[in-house]
């Protein structure tokens, strides 16, 4: 072992630990790896910067734009619509239909927007069937993952792996080459979920269940602290407003801005407005409280009480609220709604909400007027559970153009007319030029943090190859297999080892990062053992996507984690058997279709 091999392996281990601990953002970890590789000379400067010429990340970015155009024009709404009418069918049939439709759509566009659109559909379906949403949401995520395995453009993992093997001089993947293993895996997965879903999927309560029926019918109103109020200089506690009968203070607005207050010590000032949530019988009690008034400063305009709608919303991918707290966002001023609670990692949080930095997939329990709810629907920061963001209806006429663009990309790659990278970028540009998506929306739709994770991991994969670490690992894997396998069984055992290692890693790390790490190792094992590289590449692609056993293994799992009120063990219970089924199907099919 040379010092270069030792350093690269140490860098791989350090990156994996950093990814798992989640103390540093994944894109920052990946860029740090890139910098270390460049500074230490593990890869010559000219070669390490060549990863930015790799077509895979740009192709992934273009597919994000195309996926966003499909969502914005309302194409997915038309596909999802008929599922609403399936509630009269038995649960297994409904679940099989839902998984099949989601998987089909996910085979052509990025998984995350598919799940964002179909989660509200699944929730409405659950309500009509009288079942908890937790019986449907994990299958929606799993279906998106399974469908992504079926085509080259189904998920960014496939494009990353394809970019690596093309860069190593191997033939690129065909548009439907993955379907040989992806379709059987998807069919088996859909049958498994339909047959055992009702028994293995948990019955979980959503965030609104922490409120009583009476609390859900509260009213929102504002009270004004006049200049002669006895509340001036007093805190909410000493002013008798913490345990007031029939109402509670949701927020204090000072000079037009919602402020963070400690109900025990923060003094009220003249001119403060108190946002009150009143139960139907509590409005009279609130109006009878001395110290504040329900009239405006001039004493003329009455501040009306509005029916407060309690609803749930999820923090959307690429949302502007990610990593910012409720206080920092000035949430009420920005969205005209009040945050009642936050759900994250299986826990409901109702205290110290102002200081909690929000993350993708967080579930917010909100209260606001119908006007505020409708305004939120038109935005892209929060996804309301009863339906996704309202599409721009004038764009419905552009649906044929968007679908034709996707079809042209698929046909161009299928018949070797246009490389996938060129076709995807050309399609994204065309959609911008024709107004199907605005350039600003196109840039916002790209998950730039993922793009830089891919660049950083491509550099690490290049370091594995150039330092000899990939071949060193391959030599030891091949040697280890020879100790307990012989003859014709050796290639299959090696393939199984590569698949299982990839599967374990992808449950903890980004699937794109795992693909970028494992494909060079898989190519090294094939070279060391004198076998064809294709079976190892295909096994890695499937294993890197098939992450079902943890809520952090795939972004869509993380997204439905909070929405369904799931616990970590729920994913283990239903995901581990599905992982095993994917492994078995892959081991049976890959050696037959792509001989060693």
Give the pLDDT confidence of 516-538 residue by residue, as tens digits. 999 999 999 999 999 999 999 99
> What is the structure's pLDDT at 471?
92
The DSSP call for residue 253 is E
Q: What percent of the chain has pLDDT over 90?
A: 47
The pLDDT value recorded for residue 296 is: 44
- Give the tokens for residue 345: 């990692």
SS3 of 235, please?
coil
451 or 510, greater pLDDT: 451
Q: Summarize pLDDT for 235-251 with one digit per residue, the tens.
A: 888 888 876 666 778 77
Q: What are the structural domain ranges in the chain? A: 219-307, 309-384
Residue 302: pLDDT band with limits 50, 70, 90: very low
- State whether residue 172 is helix, strand or coil: coil
Tell me the mean pLDDT in the region 318-333: 82
The architecture CATH gives domain 309-384? 2-Layer Sandwich (3.30)
Decide if pLDDT at 295 tops 80: no
Q: What is the percentage of the chain residues whose pLDDT exceeds 70? A: 89
What would be the CATH architecture of the domain defined by 219-307? 2-Layer Sandwich (3.30)
Model pLDDT for residues 62-77, shown as the tens digit of each residue: 999 999 998 888 787 7
Q: Are 237 and 208 in contact (CB under 8 A)?
A: no
Q: Which residues pair with 337 in a beta bridge?
A: 368
Backbone region of residue 398 per phi and psi (left: phi > 0; alpha: psi in -120 to 50; beta: other values)? alpha
Which residue in the block uniquely carries the two structure tokens 């890959």?
590
Distance between CA 496 and CA 499 in Å, rounded? Answer: 5
Alpha helices in 467-545 (DSSP H): 469-484, 489-506, 511-529, 534-545
**Burial code of 447-482, b = ≥16 C-beta within 10 A, e = fewer?**
bebbbbbbbbbbbbbbbbbbbbbbbbbbeebbeebe
Task: Over range 69-94, report the average pLDDT.
Answer: 83
With cut-offs at 50, 70 and 90, classify the pLDDT of residue 49: very high
- Exposed/middle/buried for residue 300 (C-beta within 10 Å: 0-12, 13-18, 19+): exposed
Is residue 209 predicted with pLDDT exceeding 60? no
pLDDT value at 94 more than 60: yes
Confidence of residue 287 (pLDDT cuts 50, 70, 90): low
Instruction: Give the bridge partners for 349, in sequence order.
Output: 342
pLDDT of res. 486: 75
pLDDT at 300 over 60: no
Least-confidence region, from 44-58, 119-133, 231-245, 449-463: 231-245
pTM for this predicted structure = 0.82
Q: What 3-state class would DSSP assign to 451? A: helix
Same topology between domain 219-307 and domain 309-384: yes
Can you give the pLDDT at residue 596? 87
Distances (CA, A) of 497 to 47, 493, 539: 31, 6, 10
Is the pLDDT at 306 greater than 70? The verdict is no
Q: Is the pLDDT of residue 392 over 50?
A: no
Least confident of 43-57, 359-373, 486-500, 578-592: 359-373
Q: What angle do CA 460, 506, 61 make, to 5 degrees?
A: 65
């Amino acid at each position: 072992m040379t010092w270069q091999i030792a350093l690269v392996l140490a860098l791989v281990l350090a990156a994996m630990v950093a990814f798992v601990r989640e103390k540093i953002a994944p894109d920052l970890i990946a860029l740090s790896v890139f910098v270390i590789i460049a500074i230490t000379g593990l890869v010559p400067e000219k070669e390490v910067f060549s990863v930015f010429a790799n077509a895979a990340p740009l192709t992934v970015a273009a597919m994000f734009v195309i996926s966003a155009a499909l969502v914005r024009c309302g194409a997915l709404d038309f596909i999802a619509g008929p599922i609403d009418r399936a509630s009269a069918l038995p649960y297994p049939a409904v679940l099989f239909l839902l998984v099949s439709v989601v998987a089909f759509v996910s085979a052509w566009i990025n998984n995350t927007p598919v799940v964002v659109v179909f989660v509200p559909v699944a929730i409405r379906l659950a309500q009509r069937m009288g079942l908890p949403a937790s019986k449907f949401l994990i299958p929606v995520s799993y279906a998106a993952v399974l469908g992504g395995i079926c085509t080259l453009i189904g998920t960014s993992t496939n494009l990353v792996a394809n970019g690596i093997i093309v860069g190593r001089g191997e033939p690129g993947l065909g548009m439907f080459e993955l379907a040989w293993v992806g379709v059987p895996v998807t069919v088996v997965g859909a049958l498994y979920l339909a047959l055992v879903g009702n028994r293995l999927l948990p019955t979980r309560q959503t965030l609104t269940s922490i409120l009583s029926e009476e609390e859900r019918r509260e009213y929102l109103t504002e009270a004004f602290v006049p200049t002669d109020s006895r509340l001036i200089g007093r805190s909410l506690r000493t002013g008798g407003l913490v345990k007031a009968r029939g109402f509670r203070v949701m927020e204090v607005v000072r000079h037009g801005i919602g402020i963070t207050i400690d109900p025990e010590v923060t003094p009220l000032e003249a001119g403060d407005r108190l946002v009150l949530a009143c139960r139907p019988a509590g409005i009279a009690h609130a109006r009878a409280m001395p110290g504040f008034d329900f009239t405006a400063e001039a004493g003329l305009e009455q501040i009306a009480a509005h029916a407060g709608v309690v609803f749930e919303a999820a923090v959307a991918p690429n949302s502007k609220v990610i990593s910012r707290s409720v206080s920092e966002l000035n949430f009420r001023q920005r969205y005209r709604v009040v945050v009642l609670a936050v759900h994250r990692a299986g826990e409901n949080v109702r205290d110290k909400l102002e200081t909690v930095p929000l993350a993708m997939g967080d579930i917010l329990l909100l209260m606001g007027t119908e006007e505020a709810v409708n305004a939120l629907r038109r935005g892209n920061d929060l996804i309301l559970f009863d339906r996704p963001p309202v599409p721009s209806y004038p764009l419905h006429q552009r649906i044929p153009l968007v679908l034709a663009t996707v079809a042209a990309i698929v046909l161009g790659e299928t018949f070797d007319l246009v490389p996938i990278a060129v076709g995807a970028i050309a399609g994204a540009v065309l959609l911008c030029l024709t107004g199907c998506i605005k350039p600003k929306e196109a840039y916002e739709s790209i998950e730039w943090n993922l793009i830089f994770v891919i660049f950083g991991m491509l550099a690490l994969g290049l370091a594995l190859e150039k330092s000899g670490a990939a071949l060193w690992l391959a030599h030891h894997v091949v040697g280890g297999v020879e100790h307990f396998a012989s003859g014709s069984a050796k290639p299959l055992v090696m393939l199984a080892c590569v698949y299982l290692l990839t599967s374990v890693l992808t449950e903890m790390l980004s699937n794109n990062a795992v693909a970028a790490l494992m494909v060079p190792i898989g190519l090294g094992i094939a070279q060391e053992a004198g076998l064809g590289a294709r079976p190892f590449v295909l096994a890695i692609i499937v294993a890197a996507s098939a992450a079902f056993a943890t809520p952090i293994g795939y972004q869509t799992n993380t997204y439905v984690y909070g929405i369904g009120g799931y616990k970590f063990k729920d994913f283990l219970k239903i995901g581990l058997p599905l992982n095993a089924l994917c492994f078995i199907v892959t081991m049976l099919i890959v050696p037959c279709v792509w001989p060693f």
